[in-house]
Structure 1
Amino acid sequence: MITRVTMTAKQDEKSVEEPQSVPKENVEGPEGTHSNEKKLKKFYIGSIDQGTTSTRFIIFDGVGQPVAQHQIESTQMYPQSGWHEHDPKELIDSVNDCIEKATQSFLDQGHEISDIKAIGITNQRETTLVWDTNTGEPLHNAIAWPDTRTKGLVRELRAKGGADELLEICGLPLSTYPSSVKLVWLLRNVDAVRKAYDEGRLSFGTVDTWLLYHLNGGKEKNVHVTDATNASRTMFMNLHTVQYDEGLLEFFEVDRNKIRLPKIVPSSCPESFGSMTYGPLKGIRITGCLGDQSAALVGQQGFSPGSAKNTYGTGCFLLYNVGEKPVISNHGLLATVAYDFGRNRKPVYALEGSIAVAGSGVKFLMNNMGFITHSHNINDLAASVKDNGGCVFVTAFSGLFAPYWIDDAKGTIFGITQHTERGHIARATLEATCFQTKAILDAMERDSGHKLAELAVDGGMSNSNLCMQTQANIIGIPVDRPAMRETTCLGAAIAAGFAVDIWKEFDELKEINQKDRMIFEPNISKEESAKMFKRWGRAVEMCRGWLDTDESNGDF
């Protein structure tokens, strides 16, 4: 069943649980679908999702339905303004705890460990870790992807010879976002990291590499790999060759003789990622690995050029499948590897628009301002008013990412009057993500020459019907939300399943997670939508320039 929804501005989450809708007929699968489903339900795949704010482990059956899961919130560390870190050991502990508890639930249902055929991993991407190759001990906290301590360093690098050529090689602009600048900062500012580098015992990796290293037994087996989607976020990988590029490494002054970089392998592989060496799933192979946004695209069945998804998590990430050749953006987007399923298949590329603040904006209203007691209450608070009351909230807590790339912006609320209520600011917070999504979609249309017909969505904020209706209104096209919204975990499970032949062709996946989707149709005029977006654009321009050019860390 696909349900089509149009909400009024005053409808809240409860009022649209049973929306006035036009049911779309059930689409029957090909002959033999039911017998195939019965067979697939006997296969199970575990999926580790280590995200920015939480870790989870979900066990899916072969038709993409979760049968057991466990989730743990992650500790966020903010040592200074603009700094964002994680404890590397806590990341491992959280994965182990989630696996143990979800597996116990799986066993309690009468299943056997041997029913789990493989494990996939998905992870927050640009977050950067360094450890001692000899001991396996971390040399610093993980620097998380939204961290902006490198603002001064980025300005320095932009003035360096060759900076203008980087985008064409790796698909990423110089910003505080990629792993490269985080590693350079560590080499310059942390003595233990620099000493290990000079002595040739420094290991570098993103979260996937760190997890795989430990799940395979740490220094004993010394498994040190990453997949193409994660490697494409470092600025060290040539997007066209899918290998490390000596010119890029030289630009960032990284000597490969002094640092251990993870080997780049396909996202779906029966051998490269090793296997679990301890715990209840000991011996089970890890056969899939995807950066979280690529995993969500796979989980949304985004296998055809022109398909797109938007994930509303801590940040917001829109990926648009461009096929087997990378498209370098001229309009502020990132070019990235969407997925690489190996076995003589070519890598598939995507254009990506990254928004630094989405769900974290809701957390800001909850934790910093005390507006709500739980993040899901944002919908009710926003629905308590009929509109934003003239408020526009540019949630530039880490500057603005795509397509603006304004490092010196700060979070700014415009239009506050004596009439302003908490509900107005809550609504403006949701709208900020929707406006930035519109800006990204416009840039994608200019880069690709094609207008998107429909946007698939997932992630925490997509649970808000009000937010998704607002999104449809602002972008002027339908928004398509699945009933089962753990698409990131599902994507990692799909990658793992391909490697062990649970599925062999993408066509075999077309029925996965297609039941009970909800379509939000735009319900305001194009003129009204354009007026709202114009006001947003004016607010973006006004939030520039909060930092002096000589401020290295963005603090006053």
Structure 2
Amino acid sequence: MTIRVSPNDGLVLAVDLGTTNVKALLVDPATRRIVRRGSVPVDVHRPADGWVEQDGEQLWGAVCGAVAECLADGAVPVGIAISNQRESVAVWTVDGGLLGPVLGWQDARTAAWCADPAQADLARIAPDITGLTLDPMFSAPKLRWLLDRHGGVPGLRLGTLDTWLVDRLTGEFLAEAGNASRTLLLDLATLDYSPELLAGFGIPRSVLAPVVASDAGFGVTREGLPVPAGVPVVAVLADSHAALYLHGSGRPGEGKVTYGTGSSIMVSVPGAEAPAPLAEPVVARTLAWQTDVPVYAYEGNIVASGAALEAMARILTGGDVGALDALARTVGRGSGLSFVPAFTGLAAPWFDRGAVPLLAGITGATTPGHVALAAFEAVAHQVGDVIAAVDRLAPGALTTVHADGGATASALLMQLQADVLGRPLHVAAAPEASALGVAALAARALDLPVAAAEEGRQVHPDPTQGWVSTSRARWRDAIGRSRGHAVHRTVSASEG
């Protein structure tokens, strides 16, 4: 039977443009119930060492496919909300034609350019203006790379994927403020592009979309889409920001870890002004979102968390991460190994694109189970490094740690994470935190009732475990080796 859902029913269509999947969820904000869902996988291409690309037309096809699946029974949402992978960039023309591949947020082809002494002035001023270090993960170096190859094309448009997707859906050319804050071009004080940085990167303002608030409204859907024409795109948030919005809506002390292909650790900070520049920029200062007032956060990004599990699963279990989890459970707590998944270098808190992946500590007694467990430990250690950096820079700023994302389904990983952090972990009830978060923002903009987020479950550190301190020391040694540093300390086989 076909079910017609009228706009008065107050359902929001949340589109989550991820790195490996595009999801569409029809959400009832009043209950946070997911009425229907659709999902389409997308490919990630690595055509050269350090290069990470996606096919923009495949992404668009996945958006259409996921939305069509979600609305197959005739539902009509009251509005659309978008969450998107951050820092990935595209180049297209005013008529919508893509001019090349999407350069993914993991892409490090500009690492040598960023490290070149010729960019020393940019590297010096960028953290104070934008809150970000000059690193290839962020958008501007990739935008510059695309501009070098397509700059002469008439009607050129450059932007992050929120801007590109909104253009495809509605024809509006707009950049959501939180996504713009990840480009290395946005001045956190003015919430507009920095003329100094535009000049430094050689990017003309004319090819970039105007920056607007997260709930400013992004036009209405055009004809010929799986969603009816005339439905407003109400709100846009970057995926990590949307997850933070779900958990705490900007309350100081609330932080979250999103486990995806990479991981984002984000902590809300009080006040409507950007936090002061950090003496040691081991984490970013960023705009979480902008509504009637801006909300800022500290954030550390990890390049390979889910990607680390997937890589090890390809080696040990034919690509089955679930089987990798089961294999890791065949050994006791503490692998005795250190796996540093620096496939394209390391991001926060090290920001060392010269770091290399390694697996250290193998002995004659090492089994596949130990190696599998080391992959899960690697995720927990990387998150632990970022949270330790936040604790050092802003003591007491983080009081509650939420966890969301697909990998929260692993009870093993969640226990390892709580053990490494030495504090409780609040695990979200639903893994689709980004989609639910941006749906809540859209509902508030539409003056619809919004239910509080479900608490989920708490995972407490195991008071009987004794593996963490030795494993953390071994991990620090492995990080040093990965970065090419001499390490004189040794850990005996009997320690772990």
- How does the TM-score come out when normalised to structure 2? 0.91
Aligned to 1:496: 442
Aligned to 1:77: 45
Residue by residue over 1:173-203, the C-alpha shift from the partner in whole angstroms, topping out at 9 and shown as x without a partner, is: 0011111001122233x3xx1322xx5x320
Q: The residue matched to 2:120 in structure 1 has which SS?
A: coil
Within the candidate set 188, 192, 197, 1:239 is matched to 188
Q: Is the 8 A contact 1:302 1:308 kept in 2?
A: no
The answer to whether 1:361 aligns with 2:322 is no
> Partner letter of residue 226 of structure 1?
A
Q: In 1, distance between residues paired with 2:337 and 2:421?
A: 19
Aligned to 1:551: none
> Partner letter of residue 268 of structure 1?
D
Matches within 5 A, 1:378-389: 378-389=324-335
Q: In 1, distance between residues paired with 2:262 and 2:122?
A: 30
Aligned to 2:78: 117
Distance 1:451 1:501, change over 3 A: closer
Q: Is the 8 A contact 2:316 2:368 kept in 1?
A: no
Q: The residue matched to 1:300 in structure 2 has which SS?
A: helix
Distance 1:163 1:527, change over 3 A: same
Aligned to 1:17: none
- Give the CA deviation at 1:477: 0.2
> Partner letter of residue 207 of structure 1?
L
The answer to whether 1:432 aligns with 2:378 is yes
Q: In 2, distance between residues paired with 1:417 and 1:389?
A: 11
- When structure 1 is superposed on structure 2, of 228-237 and 370-379 the one drifting more is 370-379
Q: In 1, distance between residues paired with 2:224 and 2:294?
A: 32
Aligned to 1:552: none
Report how many aligned residue pairs link the two structures.
474
Aligned to 1:250: 199
- Give the CA deviation at 1:498: 1.6
Q: The residue matched to 2:78 in structure 1 has which SS?
A: strand
> Partner letter of residue 274 of structure 2?
P
Aligned to 1:164: 124
The answer to whether 1:51 aligns with 2:26 is no
Aligned to 2:147: 187
Q: The residue matched to 1:55 in structure 2 has which SS?
A: strand
Q: In 1, distance between residues paired with 2:99 and 2:406?
A: 33
Q: In 1, distance between residues paired with 2:227 and 2:384?
A: 43
Q: Runs of at least 4 residues of structure 1 off by over 6 A? A: none
Q: The residue matched to 1:161 in structure 2 has which SS?
A: helix
Residue by residue over 1:309-333, the C-alpha shift from the partner in whole angstroms, topping out at 9 and shown as x without a partner, is: 1000000101100032222333400
Q: The residue matched to 1:404 in structure 2 has which SS?
A: coil
Within the candidate set 57, 71, 81, 1:89 is matched to 57
> Partner letter of residue 512 of structure 1?
A
Residue by residue over 1:517-552, the C-alpha shift from the partner in whole angstroms, topping out at 9 and shown as x without a partner, is: 211110146975333212211110111139xxxxxx
The answer to whether 1:227 aligns with 2:176 is yes
Within the candidate set 448, 453, 460, 1:512 is matched to 453
Q: The residue matched to 2:211 in structure 1 has which SS?
A: strand
Q: In 2, distance between residues paired with 1:280 and 1:396?
A: 40
Distance 1:463 1:160, change over 3 A: same
Percent same amino acid at aligned positions? 30
Within the candidate set 278, 281, 296, 2:243 is matched to 296
- When structure 1 is superposed on structure 2, of 534-543 and 375-384 the one drifting more is 375-384
Distance 1:348 1:203, change over 3 A: same
- How does the TM-score come out when normalised to structure 1? 0.82
Q: The residue matched to 1:399 in structure 2 has which SS?
A: coil
Q: In 2, distance between residues paired with 1:206 and 1:498?
A: 25
- When structure 1 is superposed on structure 2, of 167-176 and 537-546 the one drifting more is 537-546
Aligned to 2:4: none
Q: In 2, distance between residues paired with 1:132 and 1:280?
A: 23
**Runs of 5+ consecutive residues of structure 1 not aligned to the other structure:** 1-39, 547-556
Q: Is the 8 A contact 2:316 2:324 kept in 1?
A: no
Q: In 1, distance between residues paired with 2:313 and 2:335?
A: 20
Within the candidate set 190, 204, 210, 2:164 is matched to 210
> Partner letter of residue 476 of structure 2?
G
Q: In 1, distance between residues paired with 2:53 and 2:328?
A: 30
> Partner letter of residue 453 of structure 2?
I
The answer to whether 1:349 aligns with 2:296 is yes
Q: In 2, distance between residues paired with 1:249 and 1:436?
A: 33
- Give the CA deviation at 1:275: 3.0
Aligned to 1:263: 210
Distance 1:276 1:306, change over 3 A: farther
Aligned to 2:488: none
The answer to whether 1:325 aligns with 2:273 is yes
Q: In 2, distance between residues paired with 1:459 and 1:543?
A: 27
Residue by residue over 1:194-228, the C-alpha shift from the partner in whole angstroms, topping out at 9 and shown as x without a partner, is: 322xx5x3200111111111111xxxx4x111111
Distance 1:81 1:489, change over 3 A: same
Distance 1:204 1:194, change over 3 A: same
Aligned to 1:146: 106
Q: The residue matched to 2:168 in structure 1 has which SS?
A: helix
Q: In 1, distance between residues paired with 2:24 and 2:445?
A: 19
Q: The residue matched to 2:145 in structure 1 has which SS?
A: helix
> Partner letter of residue 519 of structure 1?
Q
Q: Is the 8 A contact 1:78 1:85 kept in 2?
A: yes
Q: In 2, distance between residues paired with 1:159 and 1:137?
A: 32
Q: In 2, distance between residues paired with 1:379 and 1:370?
A: 11
Q: Is the 8 A contact 1:127 1:145 kept in 2?
A: yes
Aligned to 1:542: 481
Q: In 2, distance between residues paired with 1:274 and 1:172?
A: 33
Q: Is the 8 A contact 1:58 1:67 kept in 2?
A: yes
Q: The residue matched to 2:72 in structure 1 has which SS?
A: helix
- Give the CA deviation at 1:414: 0.3
Q: Is the 8 A contact 2:336 2:471 kept in 1?
A: no
Aligned to 1:523: 462
- Give the CA deviation at 1:158: 6.4
> Partner letter of residue 334 of structure 1?
A
Q: The residue matched to 1:530 in structure 2 has which SS?
A: helix
Aligned to 1:414: 360
Distance 1:468 1:175, change over 3 A: same
> Partner letter of residue 40 of structure 2?
I
Q: In 1, distance between residues paired with 2:193 and 2:117?
A: 19
Which has the bigger relative contact order, CA under 8 A and spacing at least 6? 1
